[in-house]
Amino acid sequence: MNPVLSVRGLEKKFGAVVAADALTLDIAAGQKISLIGANGAGKTTFVNMVTGYMKPDRGSIVLDGIDISRHSPRSVARLGISRSFQIPQLFVELTAAENLSVAISGVGTRMSLRAPAEADGRHDNAIELLERFGLGDLADRPISELAGGVRKLIDIAMALVRRPKLLLLDEPTSGVSAEDKFATMERVIHAVAPDAATLIFVEHDMEIVSRYADRVIAFYQGRILADGAPSEVLKDQAVRRYVTGGLQ
Q: Is 51 in the site for other proteins (CB under 8 A)?
A: yes
Q: Is 94 in the site for other proteins (CB under 8 A)?
A: yes
Among 55, 58, 70, 74, binds other proteins (CB under 8 A): 74
DSSP reduced 3-state for 154: helix
Among 2, 24, 112, 177, binds other proteins (CB under 8 A): 112
Q: Is 91 in the site for other proteins (CB under 8 A)?
A: yes
> Measuring CA to CA, how many Å separate 196 from each of 32, 50, 157, 182?
10, 19, 14, 20
Q: Is 124 in the site for other proteins (CB under 8 A)?
A: no
DSSP reduced 3-state for 122: helix
Element (H, E) at 238: helix 237-242
CB of 245 to other proteins, least distance (A): 33
Neighbours of 234 (CB within 10 A): 22
Which residues inside 132-151 make contact with other proteins, applying CB under 8 A? 137, 140-142, 145
* C-alpha span between 221 and 20 (Å, rounded): 8
DSSP reduced 3-state for 201: strand
Neighbours of 33 (CB within 10 A): 21
CB of 208 to other proteins, least distance (A): 24
Which range of residues in 21-29, 113-121, 128-136, 177-185 is near other proteins by CB under 8 A? 113-121
* C-alpha span between 98 and 2 (Å, rounded): 37
Q: Is 223 in the site for other proteins (CB under 8 A)?
A: no
List residues binding other proteins (CB under 8 A).
51, 53, 72-74, 77-78, 82-83, 89-94, 98-99, 101-103, 105-107, 111-117, 119, 122, 137, 140-142, 145, 158, 161-162
